[in-house]
Structure 1
């Protein structure tokens, strides 16, 4: 059991952890699939989509995320043998700022901000993150995006940059705790570079991996919670006990 009071900063994945990217993606894909006469449900569409997005990010690390979404959508449509138009894929590409924050995000982040500096390490472009920050209505101390870094998680480069610029906040690596939902994008590379991590297991009551690829290798986060609110409860309790 790690001591939550020993950290001074939290770095967050945004999409899947703070913002419901599965709901955002599934809404667009479902509307498209229904128009094409497909009976696939949201989970099936997310499963078909997940590996395609990861593949595009791996093959084209300099591509802006809105374009990643479009390319992944086209590959998914091809896999499913369903027609897709430019208008269809552009709808997904511009949808990021409209993706909803989880119900507990704003309040939990506000509580956590009393104890920690808050950092974003996101796989999304600048415009998308800006829109999501407005929805979360919380001021972050540092924002790092795939567009700014030039690569996508799970690339080690994203975590190397995160650690390199911690000194701008006066934070040492040992004082940083990484908080994320995705084992594939965050916990595997985060643990590989030596970070302590907290798993916000948003899919705890659903089977499968959804829009996140199977990590393929085992990884053990230091703590696991089923919601951000539960993590905030634990942090509040730890600091209260310390006095």
Structure 2
């Protein structure tokens, strides 16, 4: 079962935190929605929630079909498929060249997405106590953009990307890579790690399979896809059955809340 008490995690004996980045530290939903609407496709997109729900499913389908494709190319492909569903070319609203240009422009903006307001201060507090390690589905170039912009004041001890791993979460390969490299690179054992993430589908399902302690950062947002078998971008409250599936030890509403819990555990 899932627990919701901070006391279930031995914070003073933990040595490292691994993080999902986009959706947990970076406002992925707003970044996607804003940059897509700034392109020629913008006037033809439906309301945000509907748009994100369908696009999230398309992203996941492309990731599964092409696990070594770069994330910026994944999201370009998904938006192109979305444009086909909208029939903007077929109905003469846009040319195919305009659609291709819109998808290319959109896909190059991942590194410009903004951090959640609590992110930087929380990461700096957590970094006083733990090794911090991103486990992200984003490609190296896009992540470098984020590190030079929204997360420029954050320090990480190692960075593991889907491009380096050759697959996308929730593939078990990504978590195998995380655990193997944490031990080899930083000397951290599985029991000394807590995984911190917003996506139940991408992160907390696999975390349970690997018996990882985890914290669900429930930032609200759009809950996407069929139960247990689709992309979760955000999180409405989960029911009992879903808690049994994902089995996180703690739910918080922000990274700042987690930092406060950790500071209290260390008596800070």
TM-score of the pair, normalised by structure 1? 0.91
Where in structure 2 are the equivalents of 1:50-69 lying within 5 Å? 50-69=56-75
- Partner residue, 1:209: 224
In the alignment, structure 1 residue 230 sits paired with structure 2 residue 257: yes
- Partner residue, 1:12: 19
State the SS of the aligned residue for 1:240. coil
- Partner residue, 2:182: 166
Where in structure 2 are the equivalents of 1:40-189 lying within 5 Å? 40-83=46-89, 85-134=99-148, 135-136=150-151, 137-167=153-183, 168-189=185-206
Q: 2:246 & 2:37 partners in 1: Cα distance?
A: 32
In the alignment, structure 1 residue 221 sits paired with structure 2 residue 235: no
**Residue 125 of structure 1: how far off its partner (Å):** 0.4
Q: 1:25 aligns with which of 13, 24, 32?
A: 32
Deviates more, 1:48-57 or 1:78-87: 78-87
| 8 A Cα contact 2:124 2:155, kept in partner | no
Q: 1:113 & 1:143 partners in 2: Cα distance?
A: 14
Q: 2:163 & 2:232 partners in 1: Cα distance?
A: 24
Q: How many residues align?
A: 236
**Residue 48 of structure 1: how far off its partner (Å):** 1.4
Q: 2:176 & 2:42 partners in 1: Cα distance?
A: 42
| 8 A Cα contact 1:29 1:45, kept in partner | no
| Structure 1 gaps, min length 5 | none
| 8 A Cα contact 2:28 2:113, kept in partner | yes
Deviates more, 1:228-237 or 1:132-141: 132-141
Deviations 1:161-197 (A, max 9, x none): 0000112101111001000000010000111111110
**Residue 44 of structure 1: how far off its partner (Å):** 1.3
Q: 2:9 & 2:159 partners in 1: Cα distance?
A: 25
| Structure 2 gaps, min length 5 | 1-7, 90-95, 234-240
Supply the RMSD in Å over aligned alpha carbons: 1.9
The 1:214–1:117 alpha-carbon spacing in structure 2 relative to 1, beyond 3 Å, is closer
Deviations 1:187-214 (A, max 9, x none): 00111111110000011xx56339x824
Deviations 1:219-243 (A, max 9, x none): 12110100000000000001118xx
